[in-house]
Structure 1
């Protein structure tokens, strides 16, 4: 990687990342079976593009934390890089003043202080060139994943330490604006999460509604993996990476070239809910409310599909699957080992829900959908500021624009 013209800027070095790191390792490969306790448990869903998101965080006991932390001690100032899943390439700098447990889907990077400033590396990994390099390095893989060896082979254009510090300081001013928007997003997500938990359990009732709720099983209010006929398939395909960890549908691929093996894919229609069943996608919240497919859509075999039954609002059903309670209960029910652990279908069939009359379901869904719209608007604004920053990064981190560093006596 060079300045775009095949040259290394004067005074800079072209190195491999492993040459300038003291620490390159990932988090624990041990998956806790129980949650709750004083220590945060951070996974790839908490590593956003440029920051750590604590709005949806699980915790573990001191005993479990000590077991994890002994093998994967994260220090303040370390770089955290998502190495598995749809968010592979997301990077954050650890500014937390506390110990926490880290899952193996995230890598820990710590620079050699005589060669590398961690804040500079943080900005470098966020750059469009490095993000493009990461995506190219994973192209053709069935599962998006970076190995530690691949991370160590990342090509880095390395300026002298004083120039690293100056570049990082300039770009951090943009990060301040992004941090403000991030905090607003976190507050809005927390507001929605708290309101959803209250409204969906009946702890908070909306004005004008006073009817009794019924306690039912999810299998009574939703059809699970409906058996639609394949002749209605018109090419709409949803891969796991087409859904976000916030439960949003990012895109629908056109996959009319699929000719064989159709029976194995998940099948869905508009207004169905998709839920990831495999680790770590389920724990990270992958899923979506389906809109925009023509006729029948197909998707990853690792999705459960829920379709609302009579007198059940489809949006209300979707929001039931987005609660912390649903995620934590599903996580503890997972079966299998290692990267093949999955939520069993029986968990969905037997999951308890409190069902209000249809008009109240619709009112609850409307309020939560409005909050989703406000969150989407903040996300769009944050993306715009991020894009402006990227333009400057491209100039500074390639050496096309050189910063002036004051000489010291």
Structure 2
């Protein structure tokens, strides 16, 4: 980065106004950039009220309706879209979307929004969304979409939302929102081209990661069941009880706040303060269970959904006494192999058949003794180690790709900060 740009960034960060810039309602921007209320450059409309659209109106085939869960950072997500008939589409024709529209979440995560592209032209938007349609030639919809995705704009939107229990937006709030943009459409177009090129690279890498994950899932299914084996191993697999591989234990705390409190989710063990953005456990955690690195923990109510893991970080922590904690018999199982095995589809099936549905559909009560008595087949330790080593190599490759993806996303955020505030100008003919 040029020294001139670094100095400009530092001055703006301090609240100083460099030559050729001015202070506005949206921050410090170039002198020639425009600042307008959203109402001056667009039409804003709320989705249909509940009385106009009911779940019973949905059909198997028809016109898709975009809801909050379909708002992605890089566009509309096309999974699990509700649909309505041609009759209802015509009845709701004032809520039909056009290419270049921007749809916002009206409640909850009010900074979520997506640009409508060619593939979504003609779709409908739900009552939980607001639609923005650019009405002037002075600003490009693509540019405005990126403007809404920069963090400083998201913060401003969150700050003006109303509601104590759940944030919400309305048309007036959005109408009063100020936006800034270069006066020359060519500069707007150049900025969006740079950012869309970055998005394309990110999408390609995300696709590669998903393909690698799918490859791993398929291969693990074969390796963990013996359908595929390394050629040097021909021995019969051993039949063992799950209870021969893990032994329940309970090591309770004797004083308060001995260690950090952990939560167990289907994505693994994590710090409770990170998962919930705060510690939700009681301030008095005497009697919580202590778990060490390499030990297994799971919830008896959510085990069938995959809520279990072996602690890798931190080296020691606390879990609620409602969790079950186990020592692993590492004389009989390789750590990497076992970690993959306990999360395999076959084991999830065993967890499910050993659980009975409780008060809710999600929560099931585990028959722990039934599970521990369940017999499974596993290879001898040398073959486990070979499989475990292979798994670690695949995981290392996936982790490297994920880290590269995060680096690319961080670089894009940096680009947005520079380009969408005018700290760096794009030269156009």
TM-score by length of 2: 0.58
| Pairwise CA distance, 1:89 | 7.3
1:382 aligns with 2:402: no
Q: CA 1:15/1:75 → structure 2, altered by over 3 Å: closer, same or farther?
A: closer
Instruction: Note the 1:321-400 alignment, pairs <5 A.
Output: 321-323=342-344, 342-346=362-366, 350=371, 354-359=376-381, 360-400=383-423
Structure of greater Rg: 2
For 2:28 and 2:152, how far apart are their aligned partners in 1? Answer: 14
1:157 aligns with 2:176: no
CA contact (8 A) 2:296 2:326 kept: yes
Q: CA 1:20/1:326 → structure 2, altered by over 3 Å: closer, same or farther?
A: farther
Aligned to 2:336: 315
Residue deviations 1:346-377 (CA, integer Å, cap 9, x gap) = 28864978431351333323222221111111
Q: Secondary structure at the match of 1:342?
A: coil
CA contact (8 A) 1:2 1:8 kept: no
1:292 aligns with 2:313: yes
1:178 aligns with 2:202: yes
| Pairwise CA distance, 1:171 | 0.8
Residue deviations 1:235-260 (CA, integer Å, cap 9, x gap) = 223357xx7x7x36676869999884
Aligned to 1:11: 34
Q: CA 1:95/1:6 → structure 2, altered by over 3 Å: closer, same or farther?
A: closer
Q: CA 1:227/1:196 → structure 2, altered by over 3 Å: closer, same or farther?
A: same
Q: Secondary structure at the match of 2:230?
A: coil
CA contact (8 A) 2:71 2:113 kept: yes
Unaligned runs of 5+ in 1: 31-41
For 1:287 and 1:80, how far apart are their aligned partners in 2? Answer: 37
TM-score by length of 1: 0.60
Unaligned runs of 5+ in 2: 1-23, 49-53, 56-65, 90-94
Instruction: Note the 1:18-167 alignment, pairs <5 A.
Output: 21-22=44-45, 50=74, 110-114=131-135, 119-120=142-143, 122-130=145-153, 147=167, 149=169, 157-159=179-181, 162=185, 165-167=189-191
For 2:71 and 2:247, how far apart are their aligned partners in 1? Answer: 34
Q: Secondary structure at the match of 1:210?
A: coil
Aligned length: 366
CA contact (8 A) 2:239 2:375 kept: yes
